[in-house]
């Protein structure tokens, strides 16, 4: 990847992160009307980062998924894409398990064959997922950074309280 | 030897270019060193011209391989100043050596209530084997704390050691910070309290940079890795002082470590064979011998002179970069620099530096307890070696400034 490509990759990641709606670090967990009811975490073995994914509920019984922790740009952007997608139809969260798991796997597939075309990658309707996948294709050693939020999501689906 | 002559021995510097078209500045030497051509040739020669197993064959190829293989053991003995070649166990690397001490000695000889002294500065290779042992034995681990400047807090040393401390195992040079620990002072203070204590030294980051003398140090064991000493990966050595070694039990069984096998039982070969079962990494061991001869040719005085020059220049350069924070700022160190760029994650810093042709490491460097003690999760790390040049430090500086703009 050229320096120019790197610049573009980071510009695309920063664009996603700067418009963050679901980062608790940015919003400040205390000021949010949402309260965390369940939390799942995933560890990045290479850098030691921990990403927390929160299942939150507010006083009107609305639910959402949000994330917290300190992460690299790719991990944060990937978490934002995940949250944006699951929150667009939060009632379907439990049904998203197989998609979440295959997205997590897809980053590692890209790692081993970064030249695969987008069509060969997982075909989902998840908005902006392709941006994250392209970033992984540009920096394959970082696949785990992108996969982290999706790994936490599959745990959260298993662990969150059900009514 | 001049730096240019040393660099001429590494084809890497002539042949390898980064994606940006410039030669790669390899500053990840604490992870593994580059290999000179003579080492690669030696490995290749074994496979192409000898390719025979060691110790057991009576044909000339096996005899030749055995001579070269055992020649490495003698090279290591001489490098470390050990009394006998039989005190050198050939291993797969420093990690293997530490695990051998845990499984071959500590598992047999430690009893409930015994203590092991480590430091917070250790690589996981010197923590996890002891955690594994704790699953079997009721032993206590004590840790010498690390101060914010990246040195050990030795004011606590005496309070952490007692008559129950059977073994102290610690790193001579930190893989994360480059800190050179006062090994001799630590050993003498530990032995003043407990003369019977066994000292195990992790020399992985030290052995290629200073002349070690195990007799003068007074250690019971010292572990090292060939690949951090310009040698092949998958090879290392564990020095075991004769009296300590004689207390070891075999950890793995197999060929080459036995005296006689019947269906009823086995008797074992003498040391060091008893700790070296199976066909070893023959090519790697032979390459390791060549790497030691190469280091001797360069000479430790040349190594240290060049590394000191690189340490001073890089320290000064990093101090001038705004928004860059060095993690640990002691000066008695090898040219290894852990740093953070304000507002950026270490992986992002390393990824972008890579695009400018600079290879550094990022992450926790297999030393998470040290990271925690220093109040960070991960760092970027530039680790320089004697074959690096001052021009490469200049390129690193330029790339850091551009990287800072891109990632912040």
- The 10s digit of each residue's pLDDT in A102-123 is 999 999 888 888 677 655 566 6
- Contact residues for B372 (Cβ-Cβ < 8 A; gap 6+): none
Residue with tokens 């369940």: A38
Q: Round the average pLDDT of chain A to a whole number and report it.
A: 88
- Chain A residue whose CA is closest to B376: A48
Q: Round the average pLDDT of chain B to a whole number and report it.
A: 97
Binary contact (B378, A48; C-beta < 8 A): yes
Nearest to B364 among A7, A48, A73 (CB): A48
pLDDT of res. A119:
57
CA distance A124 to A82: 12
Residue pair A78/A149 in contact by the 8 Å Cβ criterion: yes
pLDDT of res. B68:
97
- The 10s digit of each residue's pLDDT in B81-100 is 999 999 999 999 999 999 99
For the whole model, what pTM was predicted?
0.93
Binary contact (A47, B352; C-beta < 8 A): no
| B interface test, pick of A1, A2, A3, A144 with most B CB neighbours within 10 Å | A3
Q: Comparing C-alpha atoms, which of B142, B159, B289 is closest to residue B229?
A: B289
Residue with tokens 């924070």: B325
Report the interhelical angle of A129-138 vs A3-18 (nearest 10°).
150
SS3 (DSSP) at B304: helix
| B interface test, pick of A11, A41, A47, A145 with most B CB neighbours within 10 Å | A47
| E strand or H helix that includes residue B249 | none
Binary contact (A7, B362; C-beta < 8 A): no
- Chain B residue whose CA is closest to A141: B351
Look at the alpha carbons of B46, B50, B52, B55 in this order and tell me if their dihedral is positive or negative.
negative
The pLDDT confidence band at residue A3, using thresholds 50, 70 and 90, is: confident
Nearest to A47 among B20, B363, B406 (CB): B363
The pLDDT confidence band at residue A57, using thresholds 50, 70 and 90, is: very high
How much is the average pLDDT of B22-30? 97
pLDDT of res. A112:
86
Q: How many structural domains is chain A composed of?
A: 1
Binary contact (B355, A6; C-beta < 8 A): yes
pLDDT of res. A31:
60
CA distance B328 to B150: 4
Q: How far is B172 from chain A (nearest CA, A)?
A: 24
- The 10s digit of each residue's pLDDT in B244-296 is 999 999 999 999 999 999 999 999 999 999 999 999 999 999 999 999 999 99
SS3 (DSSP) at B146: strand
C-alpha distances in angstroms, B50 versus B43, B45, B59, B64? 10, 7, 11, 8
pLDDT of res. B71:
98
pLDDT of res. A118:
58
Q: Comparing C-alpha atoms, which of B350, B354, B346 is closest to residue B378?
A: B346
- The 10s digit of each residue's pLDDT in B117-157 is 999 999 999 999 999 999 999 999 999 999 999 999 999 99
Binary contact (B363, A3; C-beta < 8 A): no
Chain A CB contacts of B358 below 8 Å: none
pLDDT of res. A84:
96
Catalytic residues of B: 366
Which has the higher per-residue pLDDT, A70 or A123? A70
Q: How far is B42 from chain A (nearest CA, A)?
A: 32
- Taking the Cβ of residue A48 and every Cβ of chain B, the question of whether any pair is shorter than 8 Å is answered with yes
We report the CATH number of the domain holding residue A151 as 3.90.1010.10
Look at the alpha carbons of B390, B391, B392, B397 in this order and tell me if their dihedral is positive or negative.
positive
| A interface test, pick of B128, B327, B348 with most A CB neighbours within 10 Å | B348
- Contact residues for B320 (Cβ-Cβ < 8 A; gap 6+): none
Binary contact (B348, A70; C-beta < 8 A): no
CA distance B104 to B246: 11
Binary contact (A72, B347; C-beta < 8 A): yes
Q: Is the pLDDT of residue B70 over 60?
A: yes
Q: Is the pLDDT of residue A29 over 60?
A: no
Nearest to A73 among B348, B377, B378 (CB): B348
CA distance B197 to B205: 23
Beta bridge partners of B199: B168
Q: How far is A81 from chain B (nearest CA, A)?
A: 19
Report the interhelical angle of A143-159 vs A129-138 (nearest 10°).
140
CA B27 vs. chain centroid, Å, equals 16
How much is the average pLDDT of A29-53? 88
| B interface test, pick of A1, A25, A45, A48 with most B CB neighbours within 10 Å | A48
pLDDT of res. A2:
73
Contact residues, chain B to chain A, C-beta under 8 Å: 19-20, 345-348, 351-352, 355-356, 362-364, 368, 371, 377-378, 406-407
Q: How far is B21 from chain A (nearest CA, A)?
A: 10
The pLDDT confidence band at residue B33, using thresholds 50, 70 and 90, is: very high
Binary contact (A46, B371; C-beta < 8 A): no
Domain limits for position A91: 3-159
How much is the average pLDDT of A27-42? 81
Q: Comparing C-alpha atoms, which of B314, B383, B380, B316 is closest to residue B353?
A: B380
Q: Is the pLDDT of residue A30 over 60?
A: no
Binary contact (B351, A6; C-beta < 8 A): yes
CA distance B131 to B122: 13
If contacts are CB pairs under 8 Å, which of residues 113-142 in chain A contact chain B? 139, 142
How much is the average pLDDT of B218-244? 98
């Amino acid at each position: 990847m050229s320096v120019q490509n790197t610049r573009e990759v980071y510009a695309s990641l920063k664009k996603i992160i700067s418009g963050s709606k679901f980062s608790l670090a940015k919003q400040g967990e205390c000021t949010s009307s949402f309260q965390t009811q369940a939390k799942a975490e995933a560890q990045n073995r290479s850098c030691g980062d921990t990403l927390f994914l929160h299942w939150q509920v507010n006083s009107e019984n609305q639910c959402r998924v949000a994330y917290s922790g300190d992460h690299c740009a790719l991990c944060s952007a990937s978490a934002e894409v995940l949250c944006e997608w699951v929150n667009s139809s939060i009632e379907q969260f439990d049904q998203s398990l197989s998609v979440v798991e295959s997205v997590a796997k897809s980053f590692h597939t890209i790692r081993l064959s970064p030249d695969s075309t987008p069509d060969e990658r997982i075909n989902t309707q998840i908005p902006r997922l392709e941006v994250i996948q392209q970033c992984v294709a540009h920096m394959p050693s970082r696949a785990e950074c992108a996969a982290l939020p999706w790994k936490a999501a599959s745990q959260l689906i298993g662990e969150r309280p059900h009514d | 030897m001049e730096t240019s002559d040393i660099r001429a021995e590494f084809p890497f510097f002539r042949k390898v270019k980064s994606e940006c078209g410039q030669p790669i500045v390899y500053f990840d030497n604490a992870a593994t060193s580059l290999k000179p051509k003579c080492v690669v040739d030696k490995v290749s020669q074994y496979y192409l011209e000898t390719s025979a197993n060691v110790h057991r064959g009576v044909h000339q190829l096996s005899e030749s391989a055995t001579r070269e293989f055992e020649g490495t053991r003698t090279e290591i003995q001489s490098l470390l100043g050990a009394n006998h070649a039989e005190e050198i166990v050939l291993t797969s690397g420093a990690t293997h050596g530490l695990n051998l001490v845990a499984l071959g000695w500590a598992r047999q000889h430690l009893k409930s209530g015994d203590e092991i002294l480590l430091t917070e500065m250790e690589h996981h290779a010197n923590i996890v084997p002891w955690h594994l042992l704790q699953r079997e034995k009721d032993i206590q681990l004590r840790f010498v704390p690390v101060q914010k400047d990246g040195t050990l807090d030795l004011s606590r040393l005496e309070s952490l050691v007692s008559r129950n401390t059977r073994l102290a195992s610690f790193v001579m040079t930190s893989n994360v910070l480059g800190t050179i620990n006062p090994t001799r002072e630590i050993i003498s203070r530990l032995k003043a309290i407990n003369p019977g204590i066994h000292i195990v030294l992790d020399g992985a980051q030290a052995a290629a940079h200073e002349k070690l003398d195990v007799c003068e140090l007074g250690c019971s064991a010292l572990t090292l890795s060939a690949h951090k000493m310009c040698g092949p990966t998958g090879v290392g050595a564990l020095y075991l002082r004769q009296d300590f070694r004689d207390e070891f039990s075999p950890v793995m069984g197999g060929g080459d470590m036995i005296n006689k096998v019947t269906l009823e039982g086995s008797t074992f070969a003498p040391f060091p064979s008893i700790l070296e079962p199976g066909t070893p990494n023959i090519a790697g061991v032979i390459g390791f011998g060549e790497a030691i001869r190469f280091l001797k040719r360069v000479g430790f005085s040349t190594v240290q002179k060049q590394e000191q020059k690189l340490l001073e220049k890089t320290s000064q350069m990093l101090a001038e970069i705004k928004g860059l924070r060095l993690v640990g700022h002691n000066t008695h160190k090898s040219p290894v620099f852990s740093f953070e760029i304000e507002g950026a994650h270490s992986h992002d810093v390393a990824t972008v530096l890579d695009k400018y042709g600079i290879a550094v490491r990022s992450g926790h460097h297999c030393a998470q307890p040290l990271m925690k003690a220093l109040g960070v999760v991960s760092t970027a790390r530039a680790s320089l070696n004697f074959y690096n040049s001052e021009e490469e430090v200049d390129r690193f500086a330029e790339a850091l400034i551009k990287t800072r703009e891109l990632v912040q």
